[in-house]
Amino acid sequence: MKPSRRTESLFIVVLAFAGIASADDTALKSPWDLHSVTSTDAPYTCPEVPTLPHDFATNSYYIDSHHSIVDPALKKRYDNSVAGIDDFSREVVKAADAFQTTDSRAAAQCVASLLAGAAQQKAMAGKMESSQASYVQGWNLGAWAVAYLKVRNSGAISPDQQKQITKWMKKLAEENEDYYDAKRSKGKGSDAYNNHLYWAGFAIGAAAIANDDHNLFRWSVEAYRQGIHDIREDGTLPLEMQRGQRALHYHLYALAPLMMIAEFGEANGFDLYAERDYAIKRLVARCIAGLDDPEFFQKATGVPQETNSEIEAWQISWAQAYTRRFPDAKISAMLSKVQRLNYTVLGGLPPP
pLDDT tens digit sequence for 48-70: 999 999 999 999 999 999 999 99
Q: How far apart are alpha carbons 260 and 280 in whole angstroms? A: 12
Lowest mean pLDDT among 76-80, 181-185, 204-208: 181-185
CB 168 within 8 A of CB 119: yes
Total-model pTM: 0.93
On the question of pLDDT at 19 being above 60, the answer is: no
Confidence band, pLDDT 50/70/90 cuts, at residue 15: very low
Burial of 50 (0-12, 13-18, 19+ CB in 10 A): middle
φ, ψ for residue 40 (rounded to 5)?
-125, 175
Task: Assign 3-class secondary structure to 100-134.
Answer: HHHCEHHHHHHHHHHHHHHHHHCCCCCCECCHHHH
248 in Cβ contact with 290 (< 8 Å): yes
Q: What is the pLDDT of residues 146-203, one digit of tens each?
A: 999 999 999 999 999 999 999 999 999 999 999 999 998 887 678 889 999 999 999 9
| pLDDT score recorded for residue 96 | 98
Q: How far apart are CA 198 and CA 346, in angstroms?
A: 12
pLDDT band of residue 331 (cuts 50, 70, 90) is: very high
Could you tell me which residue, 3 or 189, shows the higher pLDDT? 189
H/E element, 225: helix 214-230
pLDDT digits (tens, 9 = 90+) for 290-314: 999 999 999 999 999 999 889 999 9
Q: Determine the Cα–Cα distance for residues 104 and 250; give it in Å rounded to an integer.
A: 36
CA separation for the pair 127, 115 (Å, rounded): 20
Biggest CA-to-CA distance, the chain: 57
CATH numbers and ranges of domains, the chain = 35-346 (1.50.10.100)
Closest CA to 319 of 294, 283, 344: 283
| Beta carbons of 236 and 300 less than 8 angstroms apart | yes
Q: From the CB of residue 320, how many other CB atoms can be counted at a distance below 10 Å?
A: 18
What pLDDT sits at residue 9? 41
Residue 34 carries which DSSP code?
G
How many whole angstroms separate alpha carbon 169 and alpha carbon 125? 9
Asked if 209 and 170 count as a contact pair (C-beta separation under 8 A), the reply is no
Asked if 198 contacts 261 with a C-beta cutoff of 8 angstroms, the reply is yes
Whether residue 263 contacts residue 351, with contact meaning beta carbons closer than 8 Å, is answered with yes
